[in-house]
Chains A and B, each alone.
Chain A
């Protein structure tokens, strides 16, 4: 067993890893930046070390400092969480050199899956279905045009090194090809320092289905069924669930065995996720493989009863997986909502500042993974994810009801959050029926929502806001109310002309 694990991350995922370490009697060490001195992960870990200033490049992304610290404090292993160093082959190689175990896959698997064209080639070779398209970067305009013609429009142009929706363009006809080709190349070079691009068939209204897998260094593999993550905006997931309401048993068998094949193809060990697009006829295509623990892993934990972080740690120590495929079955239904500090009604503008009051829901079937509490600051330096709210119940419908109940209990004040928005989506008739695709939160939906929201807000909330501010103003001025009248005019006048 490892004696001490250094967690090279922050926020809810650092807290999540600390909890498993504690469950198994392993000491945990966390790192923190200037901005995170009072964060939950800093306070919960057995040991905490200041690593640098607030900018991620100077703290959570400072490879040399992290490795030096791990050696100084005698950590056997580093857990990277997600983001930061979790999919950085260079970091893994540096750890290997320093004899510190990386709780994750080999640098080789990470590199293989890091390039989309390489990954596509490998999957095609091993019989995993891929979206029809080119398997190597296109070299010239002519080559691209003829490839697109063969695949059939509409097609997508994608940066080979891309991600997060950047460096991607839909083309509906040959006329649009040249300008889109050049623009995508420019964008790819700027964003990823690599202008390799390839072509894929554009799949209309697909669903995002992914399979959780686990592998060990002995070559054993299991899958932990699928998750559906179709509710996204700008390619960022908002609501995830397991199992998918769209996947039937036959499709499940096919897609999970394809995912295991994908993991085998790159000699993968650790927890990993194979992402697929699924069209309306339930054909599925390999999208990419995430070689790390994912944000949405709790829904899988709730329907399987397994601790994925524990398995990651076991496997990293060289042990075999602690269970077999036949030990696993789907129990009930789980949903996850990501609570973000952002304003969906205002183009998802992030909201920064202090959380003044934080009260999280509880009760039967509810789990909250959070890195924050009252008084915590949400800063511009990191992701605006506050908490993950997860519900479990025996059926999808009652899991949705529990989610609604929990969302109503959740109090986060001091910042704008997406909680009211999540309530509307979860209670939407199409969502309840399971009738949606990755285009669910399209422009039309958002516009309708804004209209409804404006109407509602103008009624009750505006009155309440007016009342509370009047009461506070009245109390704060108190007895000196009359005297302060003229001076207060001056002060707001000044403010207006600042």
Chain B
């Protein structure tokens, strides 16, 4: 039996895989069958439901699941990994590193609406990134103070480039 703790959005879900066809998720028993169509492409039969989905493992334990047009990101950890993760999470260091905001896609920085040192609330608009002919509003994901802005107006960024950080 394999036991996992899966982080999805803001919740944690316990999944116990009993054998090839049975599992327990959050104390509910399921029968399952997994059919692999091609790389990343699966048909999952969960009890009587058949679900067409894509799953990409971005690195060990972190998945992107595409389900009915939506993207759900998950982090799967074993019980031991979860324990270690919690220790790190509480150690401040983790908090700091995760206030960095990276470019979700390549594009052009059209506007930087805040300065370093500005106080921001969650949801405040920080940067306008132009990509694919559309303007995208990049918002603060946490309340705090803008610690650093790594880019300037008019500059081009690649996906994953650091944009700003909030402390």
Taking Cβ atoms with an 8 Å cutoff, the residues of A that contact B are 234, 343, 345, 347-352, 356-357, 359, 374, 380-384, 411-421, 457-458, 461-477, 481, 485, 488-489, 491-493, 495-497
Contacts and interface: CB of A to CB of B under 8 A. Distances in A.
A458 to B, nearest CB: 7
B13 A463 contact: yes
B85 to A, nearest CB: 8
Contact of B53 (A374, A419, A468): A468
Contacts of B62: 492, 495
B8 interface: yes
Nearest to A234: B134
B51 interface: yes
Given A350-B105, A458-B9, A463-B25, A470 B70 contact: no
Contact of B54 (A356, A381, A491): A356
Contacts of B159: 352
A462 B69 contact: no
Given A356-B40, A489-B84, A468 B65 contact: yes
Contacts of B78: 485
Contacts of A475: 34
Contacts of A481: 2
Nearest to A407: B69
Interface of B: 2, 4, 6, 8-9, 11, 13, 15, 17, 23, 25-26, 30, 32, 34, 37-42, 44, 46, 51-57, 59-63, 65-72, 74, 76, 78, 80-81, 84, 88, 94, 97, 104-107, 131-134, 136-137, 159
A384 B8 contact: no
A470 B59 contact: no
A417 B41 contact: no
Contact of A350 (B25, B42, B54, B131): B131
Contact of A380 (B39, B42, B88, B131): B131
B13 A348 contact: no
B9 A380 contact: no
Contacts, number: 180
B46 A497 contact: no
24 contacts: A347-B136, A350-B105, A352-B159, A356-B56, A374-B38, A380-B105, A380-B131, A381-B132, A382-B132, A384-B132, A417-B69, A419-B68, A420-B68, A420-B69, A464-B65, A468-B63, A468-B65, A471-B44, A472-B57, A473-B4, A473-B57, A473-B63, A474-B4, A485-B81
A357 B32 contact: no
B69 A414 contact: no
A189 to B, nearest CB: 16
A465 B69 contact: no
A155 B160 CA distance: 42
Nearest to A487: B60
B55 A349 contact: no
A466 B69 contact: no
B57 A415 contact: no
Contact of B25 (A234, A357, A467, A472): A467
Contacts of B30: 467
The 5 closest A-B pairs by CB, nearest first: A413-B54, A419-B69, A466-B6, A470-B15, A466-B13
Nearest to B93: A497
A492 B63 contact: no
B98 to A, nearest CB: 8
A486 to B, nearest CB: 9
B104 A469 contact: no
B57 A349 contact: no
Contact of B8 (A466, A472, A491): A466
A358 B78 CA distance: 33
Given A420-B70, A462-B13, A468-B42, A495 B59 contact: yes
B11 to A, nearest CB: 6
A351 B84 CA distance: 33
B134 to A, nearest CB: 6
Contacts of A416: 66, 69-71
B2 A343 contact: no
A421 B69 CA distance: 9
A487 to B, nearest CB: 9
Given A461-B70, A485-B78, A469 B55 contact: yes
Given A418-B69, A467-B46, A474 B107 contact: no
B23 A471 contact: yes
Given A383-B132, A471-B17, 6 more contacts: A345-B70, A471-B34, A474-B2, A492-B59, A493-B84, A496-B97
B77 to A, nearest CB: 8
Contacts of B9: 457-458, 462
A450 to B, nearest CB: 12
Nearest to A357: B41
Contact of B69 (A348, A412, A488): A412
A359 B44 CA distance: 16
B128 to A, nearest CB: 11
A62 B39 CA distance: 37
A345 B9 CA distance: 14
Contacts of B136: 347-350
Given A414-B56, A457-B70, A464 B51 contact: yes
Contacts of B60: 488, 491-492
A474 B78 CA distance: 10
Contacts of B132: 350, 352, 380-384
Given A472-B55, A474-B2, A497-B97, A466 B74 contact: yes
B120 to A, nearest CB: 17
Contact of A464 (B41, B61, B67, B94): B67
A380 B106 contact: yes
A357 B138 CA distance: 29
Contact of B41 (A413, A418, A462): A413
Contact of B37 (A351, A357, A421, A463): A357
A489 B81 contact: yes
